[in-house]
Structure 1
Amino acid sequence: MSAVTLRGLKPTLTADAEALTKAPPAPGYFSLHAKAEWKRVMPQLIARRIITRADLAGVEAYCSAVSICRQIEEDRRAAGGVIDKTAFGIWNRAAQTARQLASEYGLTPTSRARIGSAPPEDAEADDPLAV
């Protein structure tokens, strides 16, 4: 008997019976960038009924990773566009983490397609990695 594997396939996201119906406030420790991302994505997650209290730590991590990318980009611009190799390495890891978490929560075009959500009218505004 052969085992069935789901390697490479992600399960379809569906509404959760314990889904939050109201967005909690952004955590107090968040930077301004992280708070802005929280306020941008939480209404989408609440509307899709896929986020529960148990998922909040993952959403916090996503918002923090996006915030790191944005802060490093601000620092780069303030330095006249100079790219610091160490900062770029941090940015790269934070961007990868943000992308992976965004996919988990239906914040990318592919993951939205899995839950049957229509793409937003302004896809650029919904891009979690637009820094």
Structure 2
Amino acid sequence: MSAIALRGVKPALKPDAEALTKVPPAPAYLSLHAKAEWKRIFPQLIARRIVTRADLAGVEAYCSAVGICRQIEADRTAAGGVIDKTAFGIWNRAAQTARQLASEYGLTPTSRARIGSAAPEDAEDDDPLSV
């Protein structure tokens, strides 16, 4: 298959031999919203065995982008629902970045399907329906 035919096709995510086994502490510089996202997603990332120490900067960026979106939404709500055009532009870019990074780490339905939830390889031994 030529390289042109592979455009847009992402490789399947697989468990990594160097995957983290416990949730690292959230970086101190993250906002409260970003830290909350870190705590929300990391158990899933650990369970799927796809995040290594080398991936932490990307996960931090994802959590920061989500934190920005949540802060802007909190500010909008506090202002009585008024939409600030500048803040909306920032929110839009942060949401797009968060979505792209979420896909990299199996945090979207499509990307989770690509990794098959990274079930342990011996899981089929216990599955009476496996062929």
Task: Please give the range of the TM-score, normalised by the shorter of the 2 chains.
Answer: 0.7 to 0.9
Equivalent-residue separation in structure 2 for 1:31 and 1:39 (angstroms): 12
Larger helix proportion of the pair: 2
Equivalent-residue separation in structure 2 for 1:51 and 1:28 (angstroms): 20
**2:109 — aligned with what?**
109
* Deviation digits for residues 35-60 of structure 1 (CA, Å, limit 9, x no counterpart): 10000001100110000000000000
Equivalent-residue separation in structure 2 for 1:84 and 1:78 (angstroms): 12
Equivalent-residue separation in structure 1 for 2:67 and 2:111 (angstroms): 21
1:27 is paired with a residue whose SS is coil
TM-score of the aligned structures, taking structure 1 as reference length = 0.86
Equivalent-residue separation in structure 2 for 1:116 and 1:12 (angstroms): 9
Task: Return the offset for 1:68.
Answer: 0.2
**Identity in percent:** 85
Q: Which protein has the larger Cα radius of gyration, Structure 1 or Structure 2?
A: 2
Aligned residues: 117
TM-score of the aligned structures, taking structure 2 as reference length = 0.86
2:117 is paired with a residue whose SS is coil
**1:67 — aligned with what?**
67
**1:23 — aligned with what?**
23
Q: Which runs of 5+ in 2 are unaligned?
A: 119-131
Q: Which runs of 5+ in 1 are unaligned?
A: 119-131
**2:78 — aligned with what?**
78
1:39 is paired with a residue whose SS is helix
Greater RCO structure (CA 8 Å; 6+ sep): 2
Task: Return the offset for 1:23.
Answer: 1.1
